[in-house]
């Protein structure tokens, strides 16, 4: 009897173990089924996600400008003053009291005219009055003394200048003096004549630099005389310091500075942006000379280049 009970328990235990084994096998099959389903369906979902993200890699809209041959000028902006040509100060030949003035500011004088009289008399002594004679012909620009003033032979009684021809006097900073020479062109404008510009060219260049201001005195003459321009007026000048003719140029906004290098993007025949490193020459406010890096006629991106990488597709618009 005891043996029978023991055999029954052992047989029941065996049955339970089989059931557990079956359950484990079913669970493993379910896990494998899930894994297979993930492998089958997840790649398709990922592919769908990539397709949804493709618009982000769509062609970038850009504007292009071809590399062309042109004349480029580099300029500096400085200030100047309008002077009369042959402006001369008239001095008396003797010291004494100014007793007569024969000309006023703005009046015309000729060379040899008597413009004032000086009385050189001293207390207890009487001398004949001495004339002040103009040494040039022109217009009286300044008369700083009045009748009764005491003057010396170093007192400039009159300043006379030739207003038929005016000069522009300016001072060039030392860092630009190496590029300044006679004949260089300049464009001028005046606050008193808004909206208009006037042309001039360098006529005189001082041979020395002022040791105090570290500037070089330069005088220019007007290409065309305008009666509205008067001596003493204040002018702003754009002086051309360098000029090159028939050189490849691109727009200044096309260039990007990256870690000390200058780069541009060129659009090829397949509308693909290609990164190019360029070497630049002279420049002005709008254009740059290109020494190397691009070829004549190539289309350089001039708007939208900041969002590009090498090989990106682009869409060119006008």
Question: What are the tens digits of pLDDT across the range 297-310?
Answer: 999 999 988 888 89
Residue carrying structure tokens 């060039």? 172
Kindly tell me if the per-residue pLDDT of 131 is higher than 90: yes
Specify the pLDDT at position 215: 93
- The share of the chain scoring above pLDDT 70, in percent, equals 87
Instruction: Extract the tokens encoding 198.
Output: 């006037």
Kindly tell me if the per-residue pLDDT of 185 is higher than 80: yes
Kindly tell me if the per-residue pLDDT of 47 is higher than 90: no
Residue carrying structure tokens 């020494």? 291
Residue 29 and residue 176: Cα distance in Å, rounded? 86
Residue 111 and residue 113: Cα distance in Å, rounded? 6
Higher pLDDT, 148 or 85: 148
At 53, is the pLDDT very low, low, confident or very high (cuts 50, 70, 90)?
very low
Kindly tell me if the per-residue pLDDT of 38 is higher than 70: no
Domains 60-72+245-316 and 92-156 share a fold: no
Kindly tell me if the per-residue pLDDT of 275 is higher than 90: yes
* Close Cβ partners of 314 (under 8 Å, ≥ 6 residues apart): 59, 60, 61, 62, 267, 271, 272, 273, 301, 304, 308
The average confidence (pLDDT) of the chain is: 85
At 48, is the pLDDT very low, low, confident or very high (cuts 50, 70, 90)?
very low
Question: What are the tens digits of pLDDT across the range 64-79?
Answer: 999 999 989 888 899 9
Domain 75-80+163-243, CATH class in plain words: mainly beta
Domain locations along the chain: 2-56, 60-72+245-316, 75-80+163-243, 92-156
The 3 state secondary structure assigned to 145-185 is CCCCCEECCCCCCEEEEEEEEEEEEEEEEHHHHHHCCCCCE
Question: What are the tens digits of pLDDT across the range 203-214?
Answer: 999 999 999 999
Average pLDDT (144-158) is 94
Kindly tell me if the per-residue pLDDT of 147 is higher than 90: yes
Domain 92-156, CATH class in plain words: mainly beta
CA–CA distance from 30 to each of 34, 38, 40 (Å)? Answer: 6, 12, 15
Residue 21 and residue 12: Cα distance in Å, rounded? 14
Residue 145 and residue 157: Cα distance in Å, rounded? 6
Average pLDDT (109-128) is 91
Instruction: Extract the tokens encoding 3.
Output: 């043996």
- Say if CB 185 and CB 240 are below 8 A apart: yes
- Say if CB 96 and CB 119 are below 8 A apart: yes
Residue 149 and residue 151: Cα distance in Å, rounded? 6
Domain 60-72+245-316 has CATH 2.40.420.20: yes
Model's pTM, two decimal places?
Answer: 0.57
Specify the pLDDT at position 37: 66
Specify the pLDDT at position 52: 46
Question: What are the tens digits of pLDDT across the range 157-168?
Answer: 999 988 888 899
CB-CB neighbours of 170 under 10 Å: 21
Strand 150-151: give its sheet, edge to edge: 130-133, 114-119, 96-101, 150-151
């Amino acid at each position: 009897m005891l043996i029978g009970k023991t055999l029954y328990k052992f047989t029941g235990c065996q049955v339970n173990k089989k059931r557990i084994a079956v359950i484990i096998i079913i669970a493993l099959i379910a896990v494998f089924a899930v894994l297979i389903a993930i492998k089958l369906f997840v790649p398709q979902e990922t592919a769908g996600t990539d397709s949804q993200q493709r618009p982000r890699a769509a062609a970038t809209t850009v504007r292009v400008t071809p590399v062309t041959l042109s004349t480029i000028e580099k300029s500096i902006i400085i200030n100047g003053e309008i002077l009369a040509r042959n402006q001369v100060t008239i001095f008396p030949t003797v010291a004494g009291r100014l007793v007569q003035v024969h000309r006023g500011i703005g009046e015309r004088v000729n060379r040899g005219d008597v413009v004032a009289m000086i009385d050189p008399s001293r207390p207890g002594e009487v001398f004949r009055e001495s004339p002040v004679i103009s040494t040039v012909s022109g217009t009286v620009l300044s008369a700083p003394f009045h009748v009764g003033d005491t003057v010396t032979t170093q007192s400039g009684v009159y300043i006379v200048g030739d207003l038929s021809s005016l000069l522009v006097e300016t001072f060039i900073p030392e860092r630009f003096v190496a590029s300044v020479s006679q004949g260089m062109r300049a464009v001028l404008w005046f606050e008193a004549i808004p909206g208009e510009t006037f042309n001039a060219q360098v006529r005189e260049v001082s041979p020395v630099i002022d040791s105090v201001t570290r500037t070089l005195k330069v005088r220019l003459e007007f290409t065309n005389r305008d009666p509205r321009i008067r001596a003493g007026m204040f002018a702003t000048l754009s002086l051309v310091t360098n000029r090159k003719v028939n050189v490849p140029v691109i727009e200044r906004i096309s260039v990007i500075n990256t870690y000390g290098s200058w780069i541009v993007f060129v659009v090829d025949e397949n509308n693909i942006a290609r990164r190019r490193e360029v070497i630049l020459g002279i420049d002005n406010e709008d254009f740059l000379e290109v020494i190397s890096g691009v070829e004549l006629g190539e289309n350089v991106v001039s708007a939208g280049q900041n969002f590009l990488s090498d090989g990106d597709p682009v869409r060119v618009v006008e």
